[in-house]
Chain A
């Protein structure tokens, strides 16, 4: 008797397992009535774009309530991976970067949303290409950040210099030297290059057609020489200090300690918030990222952020509706209004983007046609190569390896440890 019960219980449990395993694949019938959609997000309180999107979506779809699943930004990728491997059913998953996206897509954890994407105005969505895996889309981007040059108008005016309108890197170095003021307290640096390797490496890759996954990194040579020259001449805060003191790029720019700074477009919303909140009085503008040669079209780099749907979601129709909204014009207007750069571009969206200074250069910078290369190309080796590039970048910038030796070490290590 007892044994029969145990056996029956085991059978039921097993059947339950098998059934839940299957139900993830089959699209469940669309339910009637109100739906609650869960969306994975990071640092919900400090990332206002999520709230703006969700509120705009709920206003248009009164039947659907969105519930954010808040995750610490620093641990986002690891946490999401753990959740998914545990069979989590969060409906919509925010793809923080393309590398992680391709991992989830290749593991079959994301729903095919090709139909949804094709039904949209794809010409107007920037940064869509990287999401296509074997002719299938598993996500659609809603924001597309790109890098530009932030500059402090007050410091330019005080030095009697013209604003950095479509300049070259050589001109950038000249301006940086002229804008540096050793006598000021705290010292004013003409430029600030943040410690991330992308500032040097992704810039060089985008503007010289280099490939960050190739194992051949000679194309970074000039960019490294330029930035090292700036810190040696004192026109930029040295990397060793910036890194060991964990200097915030926001502090450098918002307190007027740096006159020019290459940085991503996400910072537009950040400056606006700092000025509105009274913590900064910086008079700022944006210009295109400096180029290698003058007179060419602007080439910069950036990375899109996207929404995808969990294959285990029980509300796939509602989730698709959300993707369509977030990546479309209405969603774009909602996030543009708070200074976040949407992937979807149109005149109406540009008009909603009010965080930008209104001077001609800033507006041109934003609206001019430009090539935006992907910050880090995607392959199964991206993460391993990225680690090596980070480590060698560190050694070049603290001055322990010469540019040639450092780049040589990148070549050797990527070739032998990853590609080989």
Chain B
């Protein structure tokens, strides 16, 4: 049995480096299909849009550099401020309500229960239902004169029930209620997985120590759920600021401008009015807002972990 002589140091170095390179190449080849698609279809257009924000372009004539004109115009555009306010309104309503509703559902359905699978599926259903169908049905429920919601309110003695989507004051709450209903099933699933990852020993230990159900929820469940809560919060925040489809099919921004949101304004100014520069500038502002909120959430989360 021949003993192989140890390879000279240089060769060994080279093999090591080659192996490392190969590992890197293999790694890249795994993410390449996804990354190439992302770069081509998202990153490049996004970078293009950032540049466009400082230009004027109608998609026919060559773009023209206008510096900060688009942003100046934004400052003086009342519709932009209304849309910004409406977007914030939607986010402030949608984020906490959806989190509370989905956590509540998850707690409710995280126990042994007859027909558990059915209830979990039922709660997830709104999320996979066509949004247009959702909007039509909720609009019927919200019908100011003959809708079941207002009939129920009248039955319970509300003399002057709200006009919902036909009233400036109630259109946004109506949209928020619909969106919470639609999204809660999805986030419930996330919370369920989070709940099931909590070791039962924690609860048992707390019980032995004499903690009641509320104390266990507050001191065991909530802290253990923190990673899930953080993830859910970031996802809902981003989706809230980007809300578009539900508003378009339910109210189309109306009545008047009562539910016009930023993403709708981006669409209107860009695709309909062919002001791609101005539209990109609004998109840039929306991007910065979402980025700032997400970054703030990450920072807070890190601080809590320390």
In this assembly, does B228 line the interface, its C-beta being within 8 Å of a C-beta of chain A? no
In this assembly, does A282 line the interface, its C-beta being within 8 Å of a C-beta of chain B? no
Q: Binary interface profile of B, 234-278, with partner A (CB < 8 Å = 1, else 0)?
A: 000000000000000000001111000000000010011110000
Assembly CA distance A30 to B17 (angstroms): 67
Assembly CA distance A85 to B59 (angstroms): 6
In this assembly, does B77 line the interface, its C-beta being within 8 Å of a C-beta of chain A? yes
In this assembly, does A6 line the interface, its C-beta being within 8 Å of a C-beta of chain B? no
- Given A81-B274, A85-B60, A417-B77, A395 contacting B168 (CB threshold 8 A): yes
Q: Which one, A78, A81, A246, A392, contacts B256 given CB within 8 A? A: A392
For window 210-231 of chain B, which residues contact chain A by CB distance below 8 Å? Answer: none
| Chain A, residue nearest B139 (CB) | A244
In this assembly, does B157 line the interface, its C-beta being within 8 Å of a C-beta of chain A? no
For window 29-81 of chain A, which residues contact chain B by CB distance below 8 Å? Answer: 77-78, 81
For window 344-386 of chain A, which residues contact chain B by CB distance below 8 Å? Answer: 383-384
**Minimum CB–CB distance for A168 against chain B, Å:** 30
In this assembly, does A241 line the interface, its C-beta being within 8 Å of a C-beta of chain B? yes
In this assembly, does B144 line the interface, its C-beta being within 8 Å of a C-beta of chain A? yes
Contact B256 A244 (CB under 8 A): no
- Residues on A with C-beta less than 8 A from B110 are none
- Residues on A with C-beta less than 8 A from B168 are 395, 400
Assembly CA distance A244 to B143 (angstroms): 7
Contact B59 A244 (CB under 8 A): no
In this assembly, does A293 line the interface, its C-beta being within 8 Å of a C-beta of chain B? no
Q: Which one, B58, B77, B79, B165, contacts A244 given CB within 8 A? A: B165
In this assembly, does B54 line the interface, its C-beta being within 8 Å of a C-beta of chain A? no
Contact A241 B144 (CB under 8 A): yes
- Residues on A with C-beta less than 8 A from B273 are 383-384
Contact B144 A244 (CB under 8 A): yes
In this assembly, does A250 line the interface, its C-beta being within 8 Å of a C-beta of chain B? no
Among A107, A239, A384, A398, chain B packs the most CB atoms within 10 A around the CB of A398
Assembly CA distance A39 to B137 (angstroms): 38
- Given A241-B143, A245-B143, A246-B139, A398 contacting B60 (CB threshold 8 A): no
**Minimum CB–CB distance for A219 against chain B, Å:** 21
Assembly CA distance A210 to B241 (angstroms): 41
Interface Cβ pair total, 8 Å cutoff: 68
Q: Which one, B58, B136, B145, contacts A241 given CB within 8 A? A: B145
- Residues on A with C-beta less than 8 A from B165 are 244
- Given A245-B140, A245-B143, A78 contacting B272 (CB threshold 8 A): yes
Assembly CA distance A109 to B273 (angstroms): 17
In this assembly, does A243 line the interface, its C-beta being within 8 Å of a C-beta of chain B? yes
- Residues on A with C-beta less than 8 A from B140 are 245
- Residues on A with C-beta less than 8 A from B271 are 78
- Given A241-B144, A246-B139, A394 contacting B255 (CB threshold 8 A): yes
In this assembly, does A88 line the interface, its C-beta being within 8 Å of a C-beta of chain B? no
- Given A85-B60, A400-B168, A417-B78, A383 contacting B139 (CB threshold 8 A): no
**Minimum CB–CB distance for B144 against chain A, Å:** 5
Contact B255 A398 (CB under 8 A): yes
- Residues on B with C-beta less than 8 A from A387 are 268
In this assembly, does B151 line the interface, its C-beta being within 8 Å of a C-beta of chain A? no
Contact A400 B256 (CB under 8 A): yes
In this assembly, does B163 line the interface, its C-beta being within 8 Å of a C-beta of chain A? yes
| Chain B, residue nearest A84 (CB) | B60
**Minimum CB–CB distance for B61 against chain A, Å:** 8
**Minimum CB–CB distance for A104 against chain B, Å:** 9
**Minimum CB–CB distance for B226 against chain A, Å:** 41
**Minimum CB–CB distance for B9 against chain A, Å:** 39
| Chain B, residue nearest A240 (CB) | B166
In this assembly, does B187 line the interface, its C-beta being within 8 Å of a C-beta of chain A? no
In this assembly, does B178 line the interface, its C-beta being within 8 Å of a C-beta of chain A? no
In this assembly, does B90 line the interface, its C-beta being within 8 Å of a C-beta of chain A? no
Assembly CA distance A118 to B61 (angstroms): 31
Contact A398 B166 (CB under 8 A): yes
For window 57-97 of chain B, which residues contact chain A by CB distance below 8 Å? Answer: 58-61, 77-79
- Residues on B with C-beta less than 8 A from A240 are 144-145, 163, 166-167
For window 385-420 of chain A, which residues contact chain B by CB distance below 8 Å? Answer: 387, 391-392, 394-395, 398, 400-401, 413, 417
- Residues on A with C-beta less than 8 A from B59 are 81-82, 85
**Minimum CB–CB distance for B162 against chain A, Å:** 11
Q: Binary interface profile of B, 149-190, with partner A (CB < 8 Å = 1, else 0)?
A: 000000000000001111110000000000000000000000
Assembly CA distance A98 to B278 (angstroms): 25
Assembly CA distance A240 to B142 (angstroms): 11
- Residues on A with C-beta less than 8 A from B268 are 387
In this assembly, does A181 line the interface, its C-beta being within 8 Å of a C-beta of chain B? no
- Residues on A with C-beta less than 8 A from B254 are 243, 391, 394
Among A77, A85, A413, chain B packs the most CB atoms within 10 A around the CB of A85
**Minimum CB–CB distance for B229 against chain A, Å:** 36
**Minimum CB–CB distance for A200 against chain B, Å:** 15
Assembly CA distance A386 to B123 (angstroms): 42
Assembly CA distance A383 to B78 (angstroms): 17
Contact A400 B272 (CB under 8 A): no
| Chain B, residue nearest A241 (CB) | B145
Known: A398-B167, A400-B255, A400-B256. 5 other contacts (CB 8 A): A81-B274, A240-B167, A244-B139, A391-B254, A394-B254
Pick the 6 closest A-B CB pairs, nearest first: A240-B166, A85-B59, A395-B256, A394-B255, A244-B165, A391-B256
Write the residues of chain A forming the contact surface with B, with a CB cutoff of 8 angstroms. Answer: 77-78, 81-82, 84-85, 103, 107, 109, 238-241, 243-246, 383-384, 387, 391-392, 394-395, 398, 400-401, 413, 417
11 CB < 8 A contacts A-B: A78-B272, A107-B58, A239-B166, A241-B145, A244-B166, A383-B273, A394-B254, A400-B167, A400-B168, A413-B78, A417-B79
Write the residues of chain B forming the contact surface with A, with a CB cutoff of 8 angstroms. Answer: 58-61, 77-79, 136, 139-140, 142-146, 163-168, 254-257, 268, 271-274
